[in-house]
């Protein structure tokens, strides 16, 4: 049985198997096969969601399933019932589950104890469905592989979204530059877990920059210097400065991350045909300015739409 808990364990063949299914679901929407006919899937969400909730509810229905949306606070899980017990109960009643929560160990344990296909719809550690969609969208719009390209992430580089980008880079062999101030950079342990080895600085990298090398040919470059990081990029990408669960740190984060913004000046440093992407929701004037977001709205909202098509491909891959 397959799960999608993390991008860490996905092989290149898995990425290709998922991406290869997307056009069928996207082009034949409403007319494709319904492999989940007769099944019931549940969404268990402990955090807010617009895109992930709607794209999974709609996508699972279009694949033929009945769908239950369970706010974690409305079930006994919210009153302290252990995840292992919730998993063992639901595993006897439903056919698959999509979970958005805080601890990665909760989705891992649900998969282990339920015996049904389990999808990570965002934890504090990772957002695999988002990054699969982002890479699909990049390749769809550019009509070329992301391998060998330069992806520059600007903002809080210690949260779930950049972590999934690191695992994807390690596998697919692109250069990922993470531009973030000290305290908002990924842990060395994460880069090592992804298979990285810290090595010599690339020629021209500014001081305070670390370079990690991977067997796939990928490089992950961690730097506080966002202008350097944006230079020659094929994709500029950002996420919120204040992730869900970090609201108590809001004032400090606004202070520390100020300036780590995608805007017209930064974009001038990227390649002339660079894409700008944002997983959304966007906070204009913080991680991206309003003008840049609107100028790249077609890419950004296609990226959001693709959540639907890519996640149907993920589920179809999981059950195959
Ligand atoms: N990008 C994303 O996961 O959006 P939601 O939080 O609205 O699901
Ligand atoms: N890093 C953000 C992603 C939102 C889709 C968060 O966890 O809130």
Q: Model pTM?
A: 0.98
Residues 239, 247: Cα–Cα separation, whole Å? 15
Cβ proximity of 269 and 17 under 8 Å: no
Q: Which atom of ligand 2 is least distant from the CA of 279?
A: 5
In sign, the C-alpha dihedral spanning 293, 294, 295, 298 is positive
Residue 127 appears among annotated catalytic residues: yes
Residue 109 appears among annotated catalytic residues: no
Q: Under DSSP, is residue 193 helix (H, G, I), strand (E, B) or coil?
A: helix
pLDDT tens-place values along the chain, 320 residues long? 999 999 999 999 999 999 999 999 999 998 999 999 999 999 999 999 999 999 999 999 999 999 999 999 999 999 999 999 999 999 999 999 999 999 999 999 999 999 999 999 999 999 999 999 999 999 999 999 999 999 999 999 999 999 999 999 999 999 999 999 999 999 999 999 999 999 998 889 999 999 999 999 999 999 999 999 999 999 999 999 999 999 999 999 999 999 999 999 999 999 999 999 999 999 999 999 999 999 999 999 999 999 999 999 999 999 99
Q: Ligand 2 centroid to 160 CA: how many Å?
A: 7
Ligand nearest to the CA of 163: 2
Residue 239 appears among annotated catalytic residues: yes
| Domains and their CATH numbers in the chain | 7-127+307-319 (3.40.50.1370), 129-303 (3.40.50.1370)
Q: Ligand 2 centroid to 132 CA: how many Å?
A: 15
267 Cβ neighbours under 8 A, 6+ residues apart: 230, 236, 274, 276, 292
Which CA distances in Å does 277 have to 4, 8, 148, 245, 307?
23, 22, 18, 23, 13
Q: Ligand 2 centroid to 171 CA: how many Å?
A: 23
Q: Which atom of ligand 2 is least distant from the CA of 47?
A: 8
Ligand nearest to the CA of 55: 1
Report the residue among 240, 242, 278, 304 best suited for mutation to probe ligand 2: largest number of ligand atoms under 8 A from its CB: 240
């Amino acid at each position: 049985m397959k799960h999608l808990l993390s991008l860490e364990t996905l092989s290149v063949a898995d990425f290709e198997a998922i991406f290869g299914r997307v056009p069928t679901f996207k082009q034949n929407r409403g007319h494709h096969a319904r492999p989940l006919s007769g099944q019931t899937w549940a969404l268990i969400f402990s955090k807010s969601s617009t895109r992930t909730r709607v794209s999974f509810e709609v996508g699972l229905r279009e694949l033929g399933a009945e769908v239950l949306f369970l706010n974690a606070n409305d079930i006994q899980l919210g009153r302290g019932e252990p995840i292992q017990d919730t998993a063992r109960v639901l595993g006897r009643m439903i056919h698959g589950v999509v979970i958005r929560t805080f601890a990665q160990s909760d989705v891992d344990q649900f998969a282990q104890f339920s015996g049904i296909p389990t999808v990570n719809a965002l934890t504090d550690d990772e957002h695999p469905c988002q990054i699969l969609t982002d890479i699909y969208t990049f390749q769809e719009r550019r009509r070329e592989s992301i391998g060998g390209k330069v992806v520059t992430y600007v903002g809080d580089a210690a949260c779930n979204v950049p972590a999934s980008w690191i695992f994807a880079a390690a596998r697919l062999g692109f250069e990922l530059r993470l531009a973030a101030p000290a305290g908002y950079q990924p842990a060395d342990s994460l880069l090592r877990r992804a298979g990285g080895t810290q090595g010599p600085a690339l020629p021209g990298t500014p001081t305070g920059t670390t370079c990690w090398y991977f067997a796939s040919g990928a490089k992950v470059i961690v730097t506080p210097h966002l202008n350097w990081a944006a230079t020659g990029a094929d994709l500029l990408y950002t996420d919120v400065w204040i992730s869900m669960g970090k609201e108590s740190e809001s004032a400090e984060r606004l202070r520390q991350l100020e300036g780590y913004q995608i805007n017209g000046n930064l974009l001038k440093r990227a390649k002339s045909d660079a894409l700008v992407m944002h997983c959304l929701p966007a906070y204009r004037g913080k991680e991206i300015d309003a003008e840049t977001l609107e100028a790249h709205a077609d890419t950004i909202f296609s990226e959001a739409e693709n959540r639907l098509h890519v996640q149907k491909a993920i589920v179809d891959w999981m059950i195959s």
